[in-house]
Structure 1
């Protein structure tokens, strides 16, 4: 299939049409991930009236080299083309040093960021806590009494949601064609309806989830539904929709240049865990704000104590018992952000199919990258790009 033919005719031929049945499959995802609004209902996340300015100091980075999955040396330009990257923005000391787009992407194109959305939600939690709207240590049922009787009832707290330490029975297998992940996707509208299964919606589905017998707080267990519940908590705490909360408390104060948007289900519930679509330049602004201890364009948007909490805390023992040690063997997780190695400074927001915001405070570098990788999780490409991010940051800092 020639990806340039996909959705190029009016109408497109059947095998060139993007649908709910194929939109996350390659090569259809090259078009789909930057045109989500044409496939799913969405809610708008309004930009700032006056965007935070960007300054540019271009650097040549194509020759920065690192090892590819086969152990062979590859340059940045080669790696971008070989890894289905749709775009990348690299900033150093607050200035854009490198910007590159492919597959129809442009500076004003929103792209689906999958679970980078979780880090956005985790950051928003700190803002709401600082405003006195949210108590991270409160039980979930303080905000959503309807969750009593589900895994999110009883002793489950907002902190357990933030740190992915809910003792939940859920198998987040992105390649599965039935079971938990498919039932979840159907409830969000991300899959075609199944005539054999009664229609569902996200919030009703969340109330059906049950415990796995493990105590909350002891094991890192990556389950997207935790973040959707977190977004619902925010809505109850603030009395408005998640999209409006995100715009009012983060997107506008940060100085976003473009509207973002988020997918919603049949009843308007936001896919907080993975449904945000945003431009790369605004993702770079977001990353730069986090590198600068929560300050954007001279304004303290995210409380500094929350950024410190992300970078300094987290439960290393819970991580070591968790399900992502193959990705980050010495990692950590706090407030929906990853520490890549507890002995180093970089931290990151990561989404499936190759979405990243990599922040290296020591080298004053931020890298935002969006992709349409064929596999949801490709550890070879993830590890290649971690080597690449380190190499780029070292070059920009004059260390290589």
Structure 2
């Protein structure tokens, strides 16, 4: 089907209609990922009244060469057009040097960023810790006593949530048609209800999760529900909704130009783990702030010590025992951010279907990319783009 025909008529033909049942499937996703607000309830994340000014200086990068998806030689221009990329912004030394949009996306259009949302949540944790709203070493139940009988009770701490080291029984299989991920998505409102399954909302569902017998802190185990619990912790710590916390403590202080928004369940609980929709330029602003040790527009928004901790710490042994070593064999994970290779400085926020914020401090480069890749996880595309990001950063550094 031609993706340009999807949702183009009023009303759309049946086979061109995006619904709750097909919105994450290609080609419907090319429309859905930039129109989430027409499909799901959302909460607004207000922008700054004084946005951080972006400067622009176009650089020719289309001929940057790197190994493609199957090992063949490709270049930046070709990769953009053959990888379901919806948009990309490249910054070097604080200046936008390349910007590209496709599939109806525009500079002022929010796009679903999936688990890049987690890195935003992890960054927010440092701000709340700095202002004594949050103790990362405290047990989860200090903030949410209702979690005592779940996997998040007992010795489970906020730090375990931040670092994905909860010993939880959960299989995060995005391609499954039943089981943990489907039940979780139903609780968030991301899946149509099933008449044969009792209805549940997100906070209710989180309380049903159980341990797998592994001690907390020992193994990196990527489970999205940990981040939703983290968002609930923030709400209890601050006494306000997650969307308002994010706007007040991060989105406005960093100088976001546009409102973002986040999906919410039937009770208003935010999908902290993967529900944020934001514009590419604001994602680039966020990445540039992280590259600059938490400073945006001359203001220290995120404490520098928190960013140092993200880049220098993390448990390499826990990572090596974890479930994403095929993605980053020598990687690490701290406060919802990936260290791509412990021997290098680059770190990243990554979401399924091809969402990235790639930050290379050594080469003063930030790359924000959004996509509607058909598969949730496609390592060939991910590794191709990782090679591409490195090649672009190298070109910019060498030509500076």
- 1:70 CA displacement: 1.7
**1:115-134, aligned counterparts within 5 Å?**
115-134=115-134
The equivalent residue for 2:310 is: 310
Alignment deviations for residues 323-343 of structure 1 (CA, whole Å, 9 cap, x no partner): 000000000000000000000
Q: Distance in 1 between matches of 2:179 and 2:332?
A: 28
The equivalent residue for 1:328 is: 328
SS of the equivalent of 1:4 reads helix
The equivalent residue for 2:18 is: 18
- 1:399 CA displacement: 6.6
The equivalent residue for 1:40 is: 40
Q: Distance in 2 between matches of 1:261 and 1:240?
A: 16
SS of the equivalent of 2:171 reads coil
Structure 2, unaligned stretches of length 5 or more?
A: none
Q: Distance in 1 between matches of 2:269 and 2:123?
A: 20
Q: TM-score, normalized by length of structure 2?
A: 1.00
Q: Runs of 4+ in structure 1 displaced over 4 angstroms?
A: none
Q: Distance in 1 between matches of 2:81 and 2:135?
A: 44
- 1:210 CA displacement: 0.1
Q: Distance in 1 between matches of 2:399 and 2:141?
A: 50
Q: Distance in 2 between matches of 1:100 and 1:349?
A: 20
Q: Does 1:342 align with 2:334?
A: no
Alignment deviations for residues 46-72 of structure 1 (CA, whole Å, 9 cap, x no partner): 000010000001101000010012211
The equivalent residue for 1:203 is: 203
The equivalent residue for 2:290 is: 290
Alignment deviations for residues 174-222 of structure 1 (CA, whole Å, 9 cap, x no partner): 0000000000000000000001011110000000000000000000000
Aligned residues: 400
SS of the equivalent of 1:89 reads strand
Q: Distance in 2 between matches of 1:233 and 1:165?
A: 17
Q: Does 1:81 align with 2:76?
A: no
Q: TM-score, normalized by length of structure 1?
A: 1.00
The equivalent residue for 2:3 is: 3
Q: Distance in 1 between matches of 2:104 and 2:226?
A: 33
Q: Does 1:98 align with 2:98?
A: yes
- 1:269 CA displacement: 0.0
The equivalent residue for 1:107 is: 107
Q: Distance in 2 between matches of 1:104 and 1:311?
A: 35
Q: Distance in 2 between matches of 1:90 and 1:210?
A: 42
Q: Distance in 1 between matches of 2:2 and 2:102?
A: 15
